[in-house]
Structure 1
Amino acid sequence: MNAFRIIGLLLIFAGILSLALGRVSFTKSTHQIKIGPVELAVKEKQDIELPVWAGIGAIVVGGVLVVMGGRKR
C-alpha cells in the first residue's frame, strides 16, 4: 500500500465517523484561581457540530485517493 491509499482510507474512516457521530464534546478548563492551599477551577463542556458536507467531502476525497493510489503509472 502506498501513501495515497493509506491517506484515502483514513479520510473515508474519518468521514464515516463524522456522519455517525454528528458532534464532538470536550471539556475545557477556563478559569483557575489559587489562593494559598485552596484551588478553584471552572470546567466548561463544549460541543462542536460536525457539518454533514465535511463528512461527505472526506469520503469522496478519500475514495478518489484510494482509486488513484491503486493505479499503476
Structure 2
Amino acid sequence: MKILGVVLIVLGIIMFIITGVSYTTEEKIIDAGPIQLSTEKEKDINWPPYAGGISIAAGIIVLALSRKK
C-alpha cells in the first residue's frame, strides 16, 4: 500500500507540472493505387490541474491508512 501511495503522490506532482501531452498521427487522405496522399494531425490530451491535487490527496490518504495498521 505504501508503494501505491508514493506512486499517486509522484503522479500528482507530475500532473501539476505537465498539464497535458500532444502527439502526432499520420492519416491517409487518398490511397488510389500508386498515388497516396497523407497528412499529419496533432492531437492533445489535457487534464485539469485539480486532477493532480486529487491524486496527491489520495496518495497521502493511502499512506496514512497504511501506517495505522
The interval holding the TM-score normalised by the smaller chain is: 0.7 to 0.9
Alignment match, 1:61: 58
Distance 2:61 2:51 in 1: 15
Distance 2:11 2:35 in 1: 42
Percent of aligned positions that are identical: 31
Give the one of 11, 30, 34 matched to 2:31. Answer: 34
Tell me by how many angstroms 1:11 deviates.
1.0
Superposition RMSD on alpha carbons, in Å?
Answer: 1.7
TM-score w.r.t. the length of structure 1 is: 0.74
Question: Any idea what the Cα deviations from partners look like across 1:15-53, whole Å, max 9, x if unmatched?
Answer: 100100122112233x32422244333221122322111
Q: Which amino acid aligns with 1:42?
A: T
1:71 and 2:49 matched: no
TM-score w.r.t. the length of structure 2 is: 0.77
Q: Which runs of 5+ in 1 are unaligned?
A: none
